[in-house]
A and B are shown apart, each in its own frame.
Chain A
């Protein structure tokens, strides 16, 4: 059993598990932090960005000034943003049988895999994962495609040139594999390969492995996966949460008794408590609005935004913000808000029960009804008519490199009354802000990451007791910035096995048993014999039939009856040849009793010798030797078959037959 690690990002994993004879890809996350090296794509022409000076080498050589621009001491690539794909060289991706998706954030690289590698398998994911994943991809494609960029920079990627660039461009890894965003056509094609599954549904893969999604509590439809054969169990934990937010709670019990537990997708901000961050978010939002400023929240169109809107729903009246407009701008805003209300079966109990009242599970429905929350596909059109300040705007993309957020950064960045509040933990806020410097607007960083923290992981591992834990190497040591925080790493016994990008791990896993079924009529014919209390044995003669990785013992074909008058079959046709079976013997021979028995039967002059392996009983008169060892007995007598048979029967009396 092997694990091929194709991604180095612990929360955007992409691993391949070779288990039995199957090849299973676990998630295919797309590392979009590479986009931070690029200049933002402004929706409206930005004179500031257009007029940034080109970057030239120390010696004044300016051949890169078309590709690289300088802004407040940082250098950015002036081109369409590119993303860092999972490793494609480590294993032939066309051999992947299935892809299991954990949540909508971990499927963003799917079109690259399914459309460009010769992949012919099936992708499994839950319905909300697919629907919201589609929204995220649609939004991404839309953001990038609607701002066409004439030029495409590639010179800087040259290894010799990259070495000359300033950080962080100089240190960017695998730049040659960076790719531009996929198209909507590719997205549709990739999504068509997905087969929908429900929690706890058992999916057979080629009869040899069974995979099951379990609720992971992190997002709508998010799952962990159990991959098991009859005697082996691998758990794949990715992006799980024990907090009570909107999704169904995490199913921990089913993870018990795993041989291997692959653990990815822990919180990216282990020191930040989500509750405190939500409080911080609300306080800063209210402070800004009360001072007459605007609030910008760069966010994804699904996920934490539902929880934030719910908090604000409860908070705005108390903070006197009822008259402040909340805008949610995304090409998929409408679908996201509506989808969230229809996936009742994937929600936590509280929200599920609301559906029966009937009420919408999320309170943002009421915010929309009362006109407190308004949503628009983009800043063009209706939005510009309705736009009123001060206001709160939720919009993407959290990297600040594309999407409507770029426009608001340009618009509001100059006033210190305004605030940008970062809630998504995927991007470093300082790097995200770099191309907007100098910036007068206030910046608040309240990353809200509800995924498991290390205390919760340690409780989880104690609870589910896996034999081995496998995790990204980042989790086996404290974060570099807090090297003294020994509590911010996985602490378990035996210590976890760690992996890094482009590494292949042999999992410590021995294949011990296979399950074989016995046909009922064959089972009927068995005659078990109790050889010890509680243990019975029976001999089986059968044909082992193997098909689709399933093994069945079938009764042997009956020996052909010699048909009178018909042509006799040749011996070779009669397969297999069933001979009359000799009984099997078991037990041991007590030497003293055996000697007594010999004496009783008239043998005299018996001598017993001890040997290394047992005993030798010597019948001197008869010149016969009986060699008794642990697993064999030999009677050596010359030419006296009668004597040998007599002796054999005496020996057999001490043994059990079956």
Chain B
């Protein structure tokens, strides 16, 4: 066992370091008596399969823990553990040994993360001084023969060195030959291993970590790294190219940080040399004839304006904007995507909040000269801007509406509100050409436009007036073109019909947009045509399962949010008619051979009845149809997802009193009752989803006092728990605990709100005296269930059980009279059994649980401790640095054994 005394020594000054290290060695060697009297070990020390202690060690309790230990327990990664310090030299020597290959580089990645937290929490210099093996590692890597260098290890070392050098004192400590050797022109840059992308990436990331202070910045300038970065922008590896570009932005921002702080109008010519060099490179690239170079320059600028919002960026834009605008003169315009990103990035920057005419002019020019497919993202981005000239907004909106306006024109629909189509007529011919040029172009443009409009619709800054009618009409005609029911007279319309007929992608996009179009719709005259096309889509045998799902969602939106004419009270005039037509279609889909369709139909039914279960019209139509009966039959569907959805749907229908009428005595299921059917599923269904659904339904029923449950709640809860406790699916067990929680809340009152500001509910007094309630809980075997769940191998279950038992313990606190009454031998026996359970031997029954015994057991357990331990992520043991280091060493040891076997 390790020494905790040494645990917090790492950050002591140099002078104290040596004696403590000696002491550590002694302690490690001797293993003193004091070591064995340590409190609960840190999670880092836990063996993987070691169970969490629940019954606290009395020794620990008496000792009390210090603040440092608490902190240590909470965040074990922040310090250099002595065990880790011990393992580090071996680890470093493995890394530089060319005969040892590190097979798994995820370990190295995780270790880098750990080093990062360590260096961020304290002095890197001290860390290096305490662990000289780390510096040795870096210099050894430089001394290796070219053929012995492992790309992974080199990359690791570069990133590690950068991390250490991020602190100025440590940078100076390492500077000399070491940093220059690693990052200079004579280093890996010139080695053969440079051709491996990992190495180039490690080099860039190392530099990025390093460039945090003026010293680092100078180093970058002097070592020629900036020139290397310029060429790396065009690297064959996208990751490397992107990282290079980001580092350039980082360097530019860092070099400008101090210089431009006080003088915002500092001219470009007075900028630091490093910044000037980068800007000059960007300028040269913007004037280049190759699209790749232009793209690189634009990407650097986009990142710059996105990240840096200092006044100097305005100067930079002033200097570069003519070059950017000049790009629009080329035919075709190069790097349009990047150009769009740049313009939007500049427009979003708070530095340009004041009206910058050149920027808006450039955007306006771009909107008018690019193809509709290219301008879509720019138009959307422009419309999303908070501050933007009205004229530009109109232009951008016009661009977005163009394809839809073209469709309306080609199909000779009503032209919509006056003015809107006129505005969008500019460039209309170009859009028509695009629409008709090829199927893929047409489909791509329409999908993009519909998605953009769908995104724009709910935003507060969406354009006004919003042409709702025009949009609904356009979407309806698009859907008609897709299902072949549109009969346009013009030749363009006919060609569109041929292109879009049966196109599922456009159909899905249009239905998605149609769904959102209910928002803000005020004209209820649109409702009939929308209902008509939705019904057609649902009826059509050609509709694919995904289209049907979208159509169901759109129907829900239009049914639940559609406007009603003034003076109309409930569902509006069209809805009852629509429902009458909808239910036969729903019936058909509930019988579909395609399970996805049955599933979506059930989900739709659930949502609809959840919202409308109380509406008389709806109830009437639903009960007159076969839908409830069919939904019931789907409880026996061969597909588990469908069974799960059927359970949810039936649960919902039953809550609303809408389940199949029991007038069909021929069906044995009906006689048995829905509760019986659901209990049957819970006990025998081989798949988890239906069982989970059943437990959720039961919880809801209990919460809402469903008639079937209220009859005999205790029997109901006990029966469900009996089934759930044996379930193999942890979610079912967790849901079982949820059910218990609801039951307890109803019997014992709500748990105290954890938030101090929450509205305090009036205290519910338990209907019967507490001892009696506890006795009932014992009889229902709720404690048995909760204790079993406490030692569940799945953490969420254990956590929930822990919360539940804590709640019970708190609630039973006033019942102190029971405490003394407990028979100590019974308590001891229960505790012993629980300890067995904890180590996985759950075969033994807990025996007869009396309230007194339960209370005693609850009080003796360290539930709070367990709660905090369970709150840690389950892989904290595997992720600990010690474990990672051991993994690396163990792999090597294994490799050595294998080598020995060969002889």
Contacts and interface: CB of A to CB of B under 8 A. Distances in A.
Contact of B499 (A280, A286, A287, A487): A487
Given A484-B493, A485-B494, A272 B542 contact: yes
B589 A283 contact: yes
Interface stretch (A27-35, A240-248, A311-319, A509-517): A311-319
A446 B542 CA distance: 11
B488 interface: yes
A486 B629 CA distance: 44
Given A271-B484, A486-B494, A279 B501 contact: no
Contacts of B629: 290
A242 to B, nearest CB: 16
A276 B499 contact: no
A279 B597 CA distance: 10
Interface string A478-493: 0000101111100000
Nearest to B598: A318
Contacts, number: 80
A277 to B, nearest CB: 6
Contacts of A228: none
A282 B484 contact: no
A486 B542 contact: no
B498 A311 contact: no
Q: How large is the interface on A (under 10, 10 to 19, 20 to 34, 35 or more residues)?
A: 20 to 34
A485 B592 contact: no
Interface string A319-354: 110000000000000000000000000000000000
B498 A290 contact: no
A273 interface: yes
Contacts of A450: none
B614 to A, nearest CB: 28
A284 interface: yes
B526 interface: no
A195 B629 CA distance: 57
A369 interface: no
A315 B639 CA distance: 11
Interface in A229-260: none
B121 interface: no
A61 interface: no
A552 interface: no
Interface in A258-301: 271-273, 276-280, 282-284, 286-287, 290-291
Highest count of chain A CB atoms <10 Å: which of B488, B591, B638: B591
Interface in A47-68: none
Given A282-B591, A287-B588, A485 B484 contact: yes
Contact of B626 (A271, A280, A290): A290
A482 B484 CA distance: 9
Contacts of A484: 486-489, 493-494, 497
B541 A287 contact: no
Interface string A487-504: 110000000000000000
Nearest to A453: B502
A67 B305 CA distance: 90
A314 B638 CA distance: 11
Interface in B497-516: 497-499, 501-502
B600 to A, nearest CB: 13
A59 to B, nearest CB: 41
Given A271-B484, A318-B638, A485-B497, A278 B593 contact: yes
A286 B493 CA distance: 39
A498 B118 CA distance: 81
B638 A317 contact: yes
Nearest to A287: B591
Contacts of B591: 282-284, 286-287, 290, 319
A486 B497 contact: yes
Contacts of A486: 494-495, 497-498
Contacts of B374: none
Interface in A497-548: none
Contacts of B469: none
Contacts of A314: 593
A487 B501 contact: yes
Contacts of A273: 502, 541-542
Interface string B631-673: 0010011110000000000000000000000000000000000
A446 B497 contact: no
Interface string B611-637: 000000000000000100110010011
B637 A318 contact: yes
A485 B480 CA distance: 12
Given A279-B594, A485-B484, A446 B498 contact: no
B503 to A, nearest CB: 11
A284 B638 CA distance: 19
A274 to B, nearest CB: 10
B891 interface: no
A446 B541 CA distance: 9
Interface in B537-566: 540-544
B629 to A, nearest CB: 8
A282 B591 CA distance: 8
Contacts of B589: 283
A283 B593 contact: yes
B587 interface: yes
A485 B542 contact: no
Given A318-B637, A485-B497, A283 B542 contact: no
B497 A287 contact: no
A301 B502 CA distance: 32
B840 to A, nearest CB: 40
Interface in A449-488: 482, 484-488
Nearest to B500: A487
B630 A279 contact: no
A267 to B, nearest CB: 13
Given A485-B494, A487-B499, A276 B541 contact: yes
Contact of B636 (A283, A320, A487): A320
Contacts of A280: 541, 588
A283 to B, nearest CB: 4
A314 B597 CA distance: 16
A311 B593 contact: yes
Nearest to B545: A279
Interface string A411-455: 000000000000000000000000000000000001000000000
A311 B629 CA distance: 24
A104 B638 CA distance: 38
Contacts of B499: 487
Given A276-B542, A318-B639, A320-B633, A485 B593 contact: no
A276 B594 CA distance: 10
A3 to B, nearest CB: 29
Nearest to A445: B541
Nearest to B636: A320
A282 B541 contact: no
B587 A287 contact: yes
Nearest to B484: A271
A481 to B, nearest CB: 10
A282 B638 contact: no
B587 A271 contact: no
B16 to A, nearest CB: 75
Contacts of A485: 484, 494, 497-498, 501
B593 A282 contact: yes
A318 B542 CA distance: 22
A277 B592 CA distance: 11
B462 to A, nearest CB: 34
A318 B593 contact: yes
9 contacts: A272-B541, A273-B502, A276-B541, A276-B544, A287-B626, A318-B593, A320-B636, A482-B484, A485-B497
Closest 9 CB pairs of A and B: A487-B498, A276-B541, A286-B591, A280-B541, A282-B593, A486-B498, A283-B591, A318-B638, A484-B494
Given A282-B593, A320-B633, A484-B494, 17 more contacts: A271-B542, A276-B543, A279-B593, A279-B597, A287-B587, A287-B591, A287-B626, A290-B626, A290-B629, A290-B630, A291-B626, A311-B593, A315-B593, A317-B638, A319-B591, A486-B498, A487-B501
